Amino acid sequence: MGLRFILGRAGTGKTRLCLDEIRASLLKDPQKGPPLILLVPEQASFQTELALIAAPGLTGTIRARVLSFRRLGWLVFQETGGSHYRYLDELGKMMALRSLLLKKNKELLLFDKIAKEAGFIKKLARTLTEFKQYNLLPDTLSQYYQGLAREGRDRSALGYKIHDLHLIYQSYENFLSGCYTDPDDYLHLLSRKIQACSSLQEARVWIDGFSGFTPQEMKVMEALLCRCCQVNLALCLDSSQLQGKSRETDLFYPTRETYEKFLDLATRLQVPVENNTYLDRSRSPAFRFLANPALGHLEKHFENSAPPYKDETQGLLLVAAANRRVEVEGVAREILRLVRDEGYRYRDLAVILRNLEDYADLVAAVFADYGIPYFMDRKRPVDHHPLIELVQGALEIVSGYWNYESLFRYLKTDLVPVSRAEVDLLENYVLEHGIGGYRWLEWEPWTFSRQYTLGEDREPTPRDHVYLEKIHRARVRATRHLIKFHRQVTGTKNLTVKEITAALYALLEDLGVSGRLESWRRKAIEQGMLDRAEEQLQVWNGLVKVLDQLVEALGDQTLTLGEYARVLESGLETLQLGLIPQALDQVLVGSIERSRQPEIK
């Protein structure tokens, strides 16, 4: 057992040192020897793994793994066995919370008015996640509420809020007990299972990319220190900041606090602390800034008053634009200039934004116009994908008495076996004659015809018969599968979640949705739209996962169709796509907080 700190400012080579040490061990023997684990944040795992295998002469990485906390848990549970309870993922948690809110709505004092608002479930789930990360139990909330009651403040907004949070949190824990494992409990389970994992006994672990750890993550760190041969922790921390007392306003305060926590932990566990590895270069720029000393000057003096930079500034421009579109177009022209005139590859370039969502649509449109291949590093919502619209529309139609808006929302997804021209024909006919409700369930052909004068009663012409026959054929193709679904889920008794879900999935099979999405995927590949192609596959898999989790969490519960639709909607609205780059030569577009830039120039 041993703990070593790798310390240095940004760009001094901490990640490079971790990778070089792992490569050196692999070059000695790629197969035999203790496991080599590089623990990084989830969003950095793909790029870090690419950097590891890019070493020249490296013929194998069977001993080395680049892991996130979740992937480390999967590895440990594969050897030691996980919880014997069923695992509930984040989507299942959202839907379980929605179900609990429907049951407890009358007992809520504050949240009853906003529980149905969009985004509330996601915010509530995030709050419960923070409670678990910082080991805050329902009993603690109960004690806070009782303290407010003794002070006569239990009828305040704060008192109502703590009351509701305690009620929901306790109800959720009761729901989990004896049946499920919460997604936020896996770190607690991992910290207990590491001690029984024999493969980690001689492992060497490098930890990079973190500035701090939650109490749950610190429990995992404690278990790794006790179990592994060596733990190397890389922190973005100036060695000069280790002297004296730190202040919260210091630039390196978060990492200094993490450094001190690990020192205290090693002392308590009696784990030897090896000599620190310092990578700061006091008299020359960090490795990352050797080609751009001006940027290195800014980084070095970022937290204090910088002396004027005397040399000529190259590779650093401050540009003002009239608006965001002009700004993005200027970036696009500069990218093309660098690629055409300076010999750069697209993969050498990155566009880093403070708030990616403000620019995402503009970047996508402008880069497409300029023919620039790019990868946007973000989680993508799917709430407007045709498949999601189809599912939500079908449930709204059956529970909402076949209202016009839901029905044509369903038909215009292009996933129903009726052409868009026929949908337009049906829509015009329905609007013209005011057709709605259960008239859609009639098998007899509609015979409404246009009347040009009040009280006119004329016989349909041959042209009218042809027109009405078109309407009938289009209506039958548009609604025959939906009518079957309607009859399966409506009746005198409420169905279980499992039964409604089975009927909904049968509707998707009858419509041939998976085959249609596959054809869209192949077409996108032929057009070179690789992200769009991957999106079709992930949306289908994501929906199936949501339905699986819904049955897993609430399968035997009885819900009305309206309640089922609201529970399912809470899972679908949080469904996001996490795509990886689909090509090697692309411009990276990302945010400062999320993106981990590779070796860009």
Instruction: Give the pLDDT confidence of 507-535 residue by residue, as tens digits.
Output: 999 999 999 999 999 998 888 777 788 88
pLDDT given for residue 282 in this prediction: 59
Given a cut of 80, whether residue 301 has pLDDT beyond it is no
Confidence of residue 84 (pLDDT cuts 50, 70, 90): low
Given a cut of 60, whether residue 411 has pLDDT beyond it is yes
Name 246's Cβ contacts closer than 8 Å, sequence gap at least 6.
Answer: 252, 253, 256, 257
pLDDT given for residue 285 in this prediction: 56
Confidence of residue 246 (pLDDT cuts 50, 70, 90): confident
Given a cut of 70, whether residue 8 has pLDDT beyond it is yes
380 bridge partner residues: 577
Given a cut of 90, whether residue 163 has pLDDT beyond it is yes
pLDDT given for residue 333 in this prediction: 95
Span of 123-132, 279-288, 421-430 with lowest mean pLDDT:
279-288
pTM for the model: 0.71
Confidence of residue 433 (pLDDT cuts 50, 70, 90): confident
d(CA 472, CA 447): 9
DSSP state of 575: -
Report which secondary-structure segment, H or E, holds 576: strand 576-577
Confidence of residue 595 (pLDDT cuts 50, 70, 90): low
Is 3.30.70.2860 the CATH number for 3-83+187-277?
Answer: no
pLDDT given for residue 457 in this prediction: 63
Decide: helix, strand or coil at residue 36: strand
> Where in 273-320 does DSSP place strands (E)?
277-278
- For the chain, the average pLDDT equals 86
- At 162, the amino acid letter reads I
Q: By the 8 A CB rule, do 218 and 261 touch?
A: yes
pLDDT given for residue 245 in this prediction: 80
In terms of CATH, what superfamily is 386-451+459-577?
PCRA; domain 4 (1.10.486.10)
Q: Taking Cα atoms as reference points, which of 576, 415, 418 lies closest to residue 509? A: 415
Instruction: Give the pLDDT confidence of 30-83 residue by residue, as tens digits.
Output: 778 889 999 999 878 888 888 888 777 777 778 889 999 989 988 888 888 766
Q: Taking Cα atoms as reference points, which of 221, 257, 230 lies closest to residue 242? A: 257
pLDDT given for residue 397 in this prediction: 92
Name 492's Cβ contacts closer than 8 Å, sequence gap at least 6.
Answer: none
Share of the chain above pLDDT 70, in %: 94
Q: By the 8 A CB rule, do 233 and 7 touch?
A: no
Instruction: Give the pLDDT confidence of 165-177 residue by residue, as tens digits.
Output: 999 999 999 988 8
Question: Chain-centre distance of CA 147, in angstroms?
Answer: 38
Report which of residues 415 and 181 the model is more confident about.
Answer: 415
pLDDT given for residue 284 in this prediction: 53
The mean pLDDT of 101-121, rounded to a whole number, is 86
pLDDT given for residue 563 in this prediction: 86
d(CA 193, CA 170): 26
Handedness of CA 448, 451, 457, 461 (dihedral sign): negative
Instruction: Give the pLDDT confidence of 12-27 residue by residue, as tens digits.
Output: 888 889 998 998 888 8
The mean pLDDT of 480-503, rounded to a whole number, is 88
Share of the chain above pLDDT 90, in %: 36
DSSP 110-124: SGGGTTTSTTHHHHH
The mean pLDDT of 252-264, rounded to a whole number, is 91
- At 47, the amino acid letter reads Q
pLDDT given for residue 466 in this prediction: 86
Confidence of residue 586 (pLDDT cuts 50, 70, 90): confident
Instruction: Give the pLDDT confidence of 440-467 residue by residue, as tens digits.
Output: 888 888 887 766 555 556 676 778 788 8
pLDDT given for residue 176 in this prediction: 86
Cα dist. 42→39, 68, 125, 208, 360 in Å?
9, 5, 20, 11, 22
pLDDT given for residue 288 in this prediction: 66
The C-alpha R_g of the chain, in whole angstroms, comes to 30
